[in-house]
Chains A and B, each alone.
Chain A
Amino acid sequence: MDEVRPLLELTGATVRFGADAALDRVDFRLYPGEVHSLMGENGAGKSTLIKAITGALAMDEGELRLAGERVSFATPHEAQASGISTVYQEIELLPNLSVAENVFLGREPRRGGVVSRRLMRERAAAVLEDLGLTLDPASLLGTHSVAVQQLVAIARAISADVRVLVLDEPTSSLDLDEVAELFRVIRELKARGVAILFVSHFLDQVYELADRITVLRDGELVGEYLTGELLRIDLVQKMLGREIGEVRARGRVSEDDAEDGSAAVLRARGVSVAHGVAGADVDLAEGEVLGVAGLLGSGRTSLAHALTGVAHLESGVIRIESTDARLDSPRHAISLGVVYSSENRRRDGIVAELSVVDNITLALQSERGVFRRIPPARRRELAASWVDALDIRPPDLDRPVGTLSGGNQQKVLLARLLALSPRVLVLDEPTRGIDVGAKVEIQNLVSELADNGMSVVFISAELEEVLRVGDRVAVMRDGRIVETVAAADLTTDSLLALVAQPGEGED
């Protein structure tokens, strides 16, 4: 393999958004005829790397070589012209056009300067046949299933003279048969010498398909490995990162309390959400922190949504205190004392253009109702007390929240929820993408709140953090809680083994 020159070579790629580096001096190479998987948690820099390769984003530093020649793409169109095609997770095709038109959109075959529909259909049929698809090129794309649309997107990508094919989570909306079909196509392209960059958060698929794996974490390169030489558990460990250090479990809540469902503040049985979590049982005692560990796509976020009225339950019951609750909205959950902080702070959390005061008092104000306005003096007083208590910086109440740092935005969100005096706090990756200082502050805050009787569900991709903060840890895999273990009985290694796959720890 080493004699073969890489088809695509990226060196020292750096992309900054403001002060933060989304990609920090990352090297990446792709050989012809290989499937190379890019792995990493949310925010690791996978999308940024792909965008840097496909010209969707300009690099601040670093260089890109294609077949040994230095290239620089200003637009995805330029990249495509050089043989780099991309298929994104969200299908970016036009459902109101025909299959053939979608395949050749923007480069319609012409005859005598005029777009020839007949030629277009013929060629589209040929490309589709190549992929083993029997489908009328003249039919409207929107009439086909998502899987077929996905394959059409790939047909579009390979209908040009493709040398590098980038597949960004192409399987997330497909079922098993469809995945198999897609894999068959990918293998065939690989056999033709196409270099394929395959991004998926499903470990099984990666191990089935990829020849090589590159791991990113927090925008940095962790390493490049041959799939056959990398144990699953090692991969997971590299993705999540791990500081070897003392891990102390809090262990304040005794086993008995935790096991005794009657003492539960929140109790869920058989909770299922479509395409998310299946049959999850959760017991949360007063003053307990339940850590939730699992990889991206394990259902950890769906579980949070199920418990907080964000997602509609397919089945299962949730009991808060001693009453059964059919949570039909976040508002309903809030009224019962269950609040949720999203993993996606910017999209689902802060209201960026509103001030710190407005953001902190938003939930409280909505709970009181539109016409019972909190008097301005009281709002400021309330916000100021939270800014002080959580050490939000800068301590400027009128500053738009969007201009604060990630850690401070997270604190504003926490303040918004804590102002409601909730009984159950569900935090989905509250420390993601924030600096170490703020991280520790938030972990300590959670412990303090639990000491004062609040029950917390703490979801995090970082296992140390889950162990440090949680009393017990619910391990999630493939949409299920596979085990709930007292944090004191776990080490990062044993938790890692549970998160990755059972039994994999031994081999």
Chain B
Amino acid sequence: MTAVYKHRLFWPIVSLITLIAINAIARPQFIKITMRDGELYGPLISILRESAPLMLVALGMTIVIATRGIDLSVGATMAVSGAVALTIIDGSGDPGNLGTVLTACVVALLVSLVLGAWNGFLVSVVGIQPIIATLVLMLAGRGVALLITGGFITTVNSEPFAFIASGYLVALPFAFLIGVVAIVVMSLVERRTALGVLTEAVGINPEASRLAGVRSRSIIWGAYMVSGVLAGVAGLIYASNIRAADANAAGVFIELYAILAVVLGGTSLNGGKFSIAGTVVGVLIIQTLESSILFLGVSSAQSPVFFGFVVALVVVVQSPRMREGLAALSGRMRSRGPGARNDDKVEVA
């Protein structure tokens, strides 16, 4: 029991279940799932479907944060990715052609990869602080997307492209399945290769890792490339959902939500130890919360305050001091002096 209680995912999962339970009590149809034409529907399924872009971005963010970095450019990369794909589809004679759509998606992802590589270059080779390095693209990226679309919102009517966000495969939303594939691939890479532990080593102590012969530069560079590609996929899902490339609206603030999801999942912004499962739970918490706001009928004027309040609550509950307090309450009563903890300061080179 204590093992379960102490698990790093204990509190995130408790938060998620509590959120769902509150919704279910308020309106029982929240947890109702129906099958129509071999496809599943219901609020929970919508959450899974809608969470896909954030899921992808947050997975990339997890790896970047593990290396002691941060990637602020993911939203802009989403915009560029969508703009590239839609411009290609729109410019082709046959938007409904599967081959055209596939080509468009591949090119969009290659461009996203290049953007990620640019970030990685600035951070790992040039040595610019990650927050500044990725800020460049965060600010410039939307401009690039606007240039690609010529300043307009490019819309297309393409069945294969629309499938990405609204299609179903084996009874589940296709977008959700993309997210699942990403989670599985990332988990496998972490488990089956040494990338996980080497990334953590670089994030915890870059100099010690370098002295031990770890290719820190490649690992950091790679993390930003992964983040770029995943943001590119997220951009495709977003564009597919609205069937348009809206450079000004695609992925706005998603970098902040992604960081929040990573932190809610228990990965420290100081880098090092990371948890993919934690990030998945973090994303689901955020998405469930967003849905709850709609579902519980919180007015749009109140919703940001409501969102902020709940997030603050979840973060406080998960904070080490609060956990210590709760642990002390539920376990033996121990007295502890205030200020006994001193978090290590992290030097940023």
Closest to B212 in A: A363
What is the minimal beta-carbon distance from A452 to any residue of chain B, in angstroms? 23
Chain B contact residues: helix, strand, loop or mixed = helix
Task: Decide yes or no whether A352 CB sits under 8 A from chain B.
Answer: yes
B272 at the interface (CB under 8 A from A): yes
- The A-contacting residues of B in range 167-223, CB under 8 angstroms, are 192-195, 197-198, 200-201, 204-205, 207-215, 219
With A373-B193, A373-B194 known to touch, is A331 a contact of B209 (CB < 8 Å)?
Answer: no
With A334-B213, A354-B201, A362-B201 known as contacts, the answer to whether A370 contacts B208 (CB < 8 A) is no
Find chain B residues with CB under 8 A from A329 CB: 210, 213
**Are A365 and B207 in contact, with the CB atoms below 8 A?**
no
Are B201's CB and A351's CB within 8 A? yes
Q: Does A330 contact B (CB under 8 A)?
A: yes
- Cβ of B68 within 8 Å of any chain A Cβ, yes or no, is no
Inter-chain CA distance A329–B208, complex, in Å, is 13
Asked if A352 and B204 sit within 8 Å, CB to CB, the answer is: yes
Docked complex: A322-345 residues within 8 A CB-CB of B: 329-331, 334-335, 340, 342
Whether B204 lies near A366 (C-beta < 8 A) is no
A379 to chain B, nearest CB (A): 9
Q: Which of A334, A358, A368 has the most CB of B within 10 A?
A: A358
Contacts of A349 in B (CB 8 A): 208, 211
Contacts of B197 in A (CB 8 A): 354, 358, 362, 365
- Chain B, residues 238-278, CB within 8 Å of chain A (1/0): the string is 00000000000000000000000000000000001100000
Assembled-state Cα–Cα distance A335/B214 (Å) = 12
Complex CA–CA separation, A268 to B207 (angstroms):
25
- Rounded to whole Å, the gap between the CB of B208 and the closest CB of chain A is 5
Interface size, B (range)? 20 to 34
- A490 at interface by CB-CB < 8 Å: no
Complex partner residue of B205 from A352, A363, A373, A374, CB under 8 angstroms: A352
Partner of B212 from A335, A352, A362, A370 at Cβ < 8 Å? A362
Q: Which residues of B contact A36 (CB under 8 A)?
A: none
Tally of A interface residues using CB under 8 Å: 30
Which of chain A's residues has its CB closest to B192's CB? A373
Complex formed: what's the CA distance from A330 to B209 in Å? Answer: 10
Inter-chain contact B212/A330, CB cutoff 8 Å: yes
Q: Contact at B204–A365, with CB atoms within 8 Å?
A: no
Tell me whether A174 is interfacial, beta carbon within 8 Å.
no
The answer to whether B208 and A348 have CB atoms under 8 Å apart is yes
Contact call A348/B211, Cβ cutoff below 8 A: yes
Chain A residues lying within 8 Å of B208, measured Cβ to Cβ, are 342, 347-351
Are the C-beta atoms of B207 and A348 separated by less than 8 Å?
A: yes
- Of chain B, the residue at the smallest CB distance from A332 is B213
Q: Which residues of B contact A370 (CB under 8 A)?
A: 193-195, 198, 215, 219
Question: B271 — nearest CB in chain A belongs to which residue?
Answer: A353
Residues of B near A310 (CB, < 8 A) are: 211
Cβ of B212 and Cβ of A416 under 8 Å apart? yes
- Ordered by A's residue number, 12 sampled pairs between the chains whose C-beta atoms are within 8 Å are A310-B211, A330-B213, A331-B214, A348-B205, A349-B211, A351-B208, A352-B205, A354-B197, A358-B200, A366-B214, A369-B194, A372-B194
* Supplied contacts A334-B213, A358-B201, 18 more A-B pairs, CB within 8 Å: A310-B211, A329-B210, A330-B210, A335-B213, A340-B211, A342-B211, A350-B208, A353-B272, A354-B201, A358-B197, A362-B209, A362-B212, A363-B212, A363-B214, A369-B194, A370-B219, A371-B193, A374-B194
Residues on B close to A: CB < 8 A? 192-195, 197-198, 200-201, 204-205, 207-215, 219, 272-273
Give residues in A with beta carbon < 8 Å to B: 310, 329-331, 334-335, 340, 342, 347-354, 358, 362-363, 365-374, 416
6 nearest CB pairs, A to B: A331-B213, A363-B212, A334-B213, A366-B214, A373-B194, A366-B213
